[in-house]
Structure 1
Amino acid sequence: VVARLADDVAVMSDGKIVEQGDVETLFNAPKHTVTRSLVSAHLALYGMELAS
């Protein structure tokens, strides 16, 4: 949903922004472990994995 509705996104953990940027960058090259976990979970729904 986020990828279709937003241009930029902020990922929060424990009430703090841990990573933010444009959707394409965050989905293709997430840096924070929380972002990587969220993207990986989304991709797993479609039988895909996050590239290393």
Structure 2
Amino acid sequence: MELDRKFWSTVEGYRAIGSSSLVPLDAATIAQRRHDKARAIYDQFFCGQRT
């Protein structure tokens, strides 16, 4: 259950990238940050579950 909560919290963090009006980002920066975050989510929650 705790892992499920952490996963969805992380997904919400991914979805929030670029949505802050306080820190305007260009499209390339948003795309790179989303790619980096998606990779981290995959590594943490999917690759780690195989071992």
Shorter chain as denominator, the TM-score bin is: 0.3 to 0.5
Higher helix share: 2
Length-normalised TM-score, structure 2 = 0.39
Higher relative contact order (CA closer than 8 Å, sequence separation 6+): 2
Larger radius of gyration between Structure 1 and Structure 2: 2
TM-score in terms of structure 1 length: 0.39
